Structure 1
């Protein structure tokens, strides 16, 4: 069974990336906040390998936020 929180974190970061590129009607700041919450929840309930991937997603989110 796949980690649902991990999958949700990946999805929300992708939505934030789309919003930052203007490819979504979603508010960028709201999308970032949702992704941050999803990453936090996923990190606490993931394997070491998943945590490493979540750190990469967090870096992507940080890049979006610094634009």
Structure 2
């Protein structure tokens, strides 16, 4: 069995990516932003329980989350 927290973090990042790509209204953008925050939390939780190889993958996922956040348009 793999690292559950690692798997959860990876799934959350995938979900955040999907939500960002599909978001078209201010409400959907807000939900995507919330999902990005959840992904960050999951990545942080997973890091402490991960092997060196997993930590490298988590760093890549963190970069993806950063890019997602930077791709969100400003809305008000």
Q: Does the TM-score normalized on the shorter chain lie above 0.5?
A: yes
Give unpaired runs (5+ residues) of structure 2.
72-76
The runs of at least 4 aligned residues of structure 1 exceeding 4 Å deviation read none
Query: Alpha-carbon deviation of 1:34?
Result: 0.6
Per the normalisation by structure 2, the TM-score is 0.82
> What are the ranges of 5 or more consecutive residues in structure 1 without an aligned counterpart?
none
- TM-score after normalising by structure 1: 0.92
- d(CA) in 2 for partners of 1:44, 1:28: 25
Pairwise CA RMSD: 1.5
